[in-house]
Amino acid sequence: MKKCTSLFVILFTALLFIQGSYSQNNTTVRGVKLSYDKKKHVMTLTTSHKIMYTNDYDLDVCIELHKGHALKMVMNGITYSMTEPYFKHIGHTREMGWAFSTTQPKGLKTIIENYIYQFSDIQPGEEYIITVSNVCDDEYISSEEKGSIVIN
Q: What is the mean pLDDT of residues 118-147?
A: 92
- Gyration radius of the chain's alpha carbons: 18
pTM over 0.95: no
**Band (16; pLDDT cuts 50, 70, 90):** very low
Task: Determine the pLDDT at residue 57.
Answer: 85
Q: What residues have CB less than 8 Å from 5, skipping those under 6 apart?
A: none
Handedness of CA 116, 119, 125, 131 (dihedral sign): negative
Query: For position 3, what pLDDT does the model report?
Result: 52
The confidence score (pLDDT) of residue 21 equals: 45
- Find, among 29, 33, 36, 9, the residue nearest to 152 by Cα: 36
pLDDT at 2 over 80: no
Q: pLDDT tens digits for 75-128? A: 787 777 677 899 999 999 998 889 999 999 988 999 999 999 999 989 889 999
Instruction: Check: CB of residue 34 under 8 Å from CB of residue 27.
Output: yes
The domain that contains 126 carries what CATH number?
2.60.40
Q: Please, what is the average pLDDT of the chain? A: 83
Residue 120, domain extent: 2-150
Domain count, the chain: 1
94 vs 22: which has the higher pLDDT: 94
d(CA 78, CA 63): 18
